[in-house]
Amino acid sequence: MEKLVLASNNAGKLREFRELLSPLKYEILSQGDLGIPSAEEPHLTFVENALAKAKHACAMSGLPALADDSGICVNALNGEPGVHSARYANLKNGDDDQDHANNQKLIAALTSIIDRSAHYVCALVFLRHVHDPEPIIVQTRWYGSIIDKPKGGGGFGYDPYFFLTELGKTAAELTALEKNMHSHRGQALRELVNQLDKYR
């Protein structure tokens, strides 16, 4: 079975990627499994950051790599938190409460704002090797709106506050199967699987 490095140490992402990429029969390793430190993410777009992470993982491991950069963009905030979603609240004293702090900052920023429309973005980059001239790049969106009070105990990040009108529930209220069917990451990984099938 061919090995593939996922350029992330996020347990939630790793679980979703392993499940959604199972048809391709890759052995998916996290960069942490290989002792690879996280890459810098200095760019202002999801695609550029994903490409930087994939190149870093390829260079350090010598294996094919898959990286994603994802986050939530709120229309009334000009696309913020955007690429800063994971560290939006920029905690200084550890990460234990990072998700909670991020969500509280977002809700505070939307005080008195009527337009709560938002979307999750997922940019995926797959590289066969660090000098791959043809990276596969996929970017998808998942549309919803931000609510003031959390609902649901599943998911991670902004999921308890991300309300899906067509489903009548938040992303955190979805089962794993439902989330994989609808989410930005699920959409992106299905498209990636389609492209990789032709690429290999």
- Residue of 151, 148, 143, 144 lying closest to 108 (CA atoms): 148
Q: In what order do the strands lie in the sheet with 162-164?
A: 27-30, 3-6, 65-74, 117-127, 136-146, 162-164, 169-170
**Is the pLDDT score of 96 beyond 70?**
no
> E strands within 59-116?
65-74
User: For 20-69, what is each residue's pLDDT tens digit?
Assistant: 787 777 888 999 889 999 888 889 999 999 999 999 999 999 999 999 99
CATH code for position 16? 3.90.950.10
> Mean pLDDT across the stretch 103-125?
97
pLDDT for the residue numbered 92: 60
Domain count for the chain, please give it: 1
> Mean pLDDT across the stretch 115-132?
96
Range of the domain at 9: 3-199
Q: Which residues are catalytic?
A: 69
pLDDT for the residue numbered 197: 73
Instruction: Kindly give, in sequence order, each residue whose CB lies less than 8 Å from that of residue 181, ignoring residues fewer than 6 positions away.
Output: none
Question: pTM of the entire structure?
Answer: 0.89
Query: pLDDT band at 91, cuts 50/70/90?
Result: low
